[in-house]
């Protein structure tokens, strides 16, 4: 089945550590996105990529980094510079006007 796989589903990180969230898709979609979700704040765009080897900052990029070396993969690294990383992270893809497809998310908790 075509879809988006986010792993792991739950992730715990100690303060000061970097951690990488995985997002893999087999939909052959060009555009990929990372959103952060906090209670009562909806989804906020962190980074997005419309093509391999290219990506743009979203609204809350500080403390995050991404790469897009392959069409299928768009990993997100939460660095120690992100002051409040505990959140639910969602990866999405898009093709044309067909809308956006979302993964099942990764819940990151800083301990």
Partner 1 sequence: AQSVTQLDSQVPVFEEAPVELRCNYSSSVSVYLFWYVQYPNQGLQLLLKYLSGSTLVKGINGFEAEFNKSQTSFHLRKPSVHISDTAEYFCAVTQTSGSRLTFGEGTQLTVNP
Residues that bind partner 1 (CB under 8 A): 4, 6, 31, 33, 35, 40-45, 48, 50, 58, 88, 90, 92, 94, 97, 99-105, 107
What is d(CA 105, CA 6) in angstroms, rounded to the nearest whole number?
6
Q: The sheet that has 64-66: what strands, in order across it?
A: 4-7, 19-25, 76-78, 64-66
Q: Which is nearer to partner 1, 85 or 103 (CB)?
A: 103
Q: Tokens 């979700």 identify what position? A: 37
Kindly state the DSSP code that residue 85 receives in the 8-state scheme: -
Provide the minimum distance between the beta carbon of 80 and partner 1 in the complex, in angstroms, as a whole number.
Answer: 26
Q: Which is nearer to partner 1, 30 or 80 (CB)?
A: 30
Q: Which is nearer to partner 1, 58 or 63 (CB)?
A: 58
What is d(CA 102, CA 89) in angstroms, rounded to the nearest whole number?
11
Provide the minimum distance between the beta carbon of 37 and partner 1 in the complex, in angstroms, as a whole number.
Answer: 8
């Amino acid at each position: 089945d075509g879809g988006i796989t986010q792993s792991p589903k739950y992730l715990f990180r100690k303060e000061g550590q970097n951690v990488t969230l995985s997002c893999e898709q087999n939909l052959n979609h060009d555009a990929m996105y990372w959103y952060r979700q906090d209670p009562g704040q909806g989804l906020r765009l962190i980074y997005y990529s419309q093509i391999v080897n290219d990506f743009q900052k979203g609204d809350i990029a500080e403390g995050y980094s991404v790469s897009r070396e392959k069409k299928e993969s768009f990993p997100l690294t939460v660095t120690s510079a992100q002051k409040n990383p505990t959140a639910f992270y969602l990866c999405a893809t898009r093709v044309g006007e067909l809308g956006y497809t979302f993964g099942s998310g990764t819940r990151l908790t800083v301990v």
